[in-house]
Amino acid sequence: MTSRLGYAILALLARLPSTGYELSARARRPLGYFWTAQHGQIYPELSRLLDAGFVSFTTSPGPGPRHKKVYSVTAAGMRELAEWVVRPPAPARGDRDEMLLKAYACWTADQPAAAALFDDQISRHQERLARYLADWQAVQSRHGGGPPPVTHPDFGSHATLRFGIDYERQRIGWLRWMADALSAEKRLAGP
């Protein structure tokens, strides 16, 4: 039994052995699209994974006052990860999406300002969508333009990016609809 962060770390290390520092950098793209981890949390978790025997490390004389540790997943760690993947997750608790909370309360607010807020969010998500699409292309190009085989690490990236692309498109559509609805009323009340 490990925390969810532990499995995120195992999933990263299963692809490529890394130092704690590298993990915090790698936990931005593409894992960071749906999971984050700062180094302040990674180092303690790595030592817990070490105690559990799921990772091991080799030292090399790195920069700074301390030695550098390159971690990799042990056979027991791989087994643990594979079993966790297949275990059904606890039903997700509230997702805490701040824009949804704002939408829930938007009837209390100034309408043009709210319309502007939702409209403004669109560009942010378009940027994200563009990033996902670029990564998606990059992954596919490594496999002759098609999807990677399901036993290849790239399949994980492919699958999560596919979700991200659909999600951002859906969200952009919703944001547009919100912005429209909040400015449409204005027009009807006009001269």
Partner DNA sequence: TCAGGCATGTAAGGCGTTACATGATTCT
Partner DNA sequence: AGAATCATGTAACGCCTTACATGCCTGA
53 or 62: CB nearest its own copies: 53
- Distance set, CA 75 to CA 61, 130, 191 (Å): 26, 37, 73
Quick one: the chain helix, strand, coil %, rounded to 5? 65, 5, 25
22 binds, among DNA, its own copies, none (CB under 5 to 8 A by kind): DNA
138 binds, among DNA, its own copies, none (CB under 5 to 8 A by kind): none
Are 27 and 12 spatial neighbours (Cβ–Cβ below 8 Å)? yes
Q: Is 119 within 8 Å of 106 (Cβ atoms)?
A: no
How far apart are alpha carbons 143 and 129 in whole angstroms? Answer: 22
Residue placing its CB nearer to DNA in the complex, 11 or 181:
11
| CA–CA separation, 22 and 71 (whole Å) | 10
Number of residues engaging DNA in binding (CB under 7 A): 29
Give the C-alpha separation, 50 to 155, whole Å.
Answer: 27
Please list every residue from 39 through 68 that binds DNA, using CB under 7 A: 39-41, 43-44, 46-47, 62-68
C-beta of 41 vs 126, nearer to DNA: 41
- Residue 3 binds DNA (CB under 7 A): yes
Choices 17-25, 75-83, 134-142, 149-157 (CB under 7 A): range interacting with DNA: 17-25
Q: How far is the CB of 121 from its own copies (least distance, A)?
A: 8
CB of 42 to DNA, least distance (A): 8
Rounded Cα distance between 159 and 127, Å, is: 20
Tokens of 84: 């966790």
**Residue at token pair 């043009």:** 112
Question: Which one, 36 or 141, has the nearer CB to DNA?
Answer: 36
The CB-of-138 to DNA minimum distance in angstroms stands at: 20
Q: Which residues of this protein are in contact with DNA, per CB under 7 A? A: 3-5, 19-22, 25, 36-41, 43-44, 46-47, 62-69, 93-94, 96
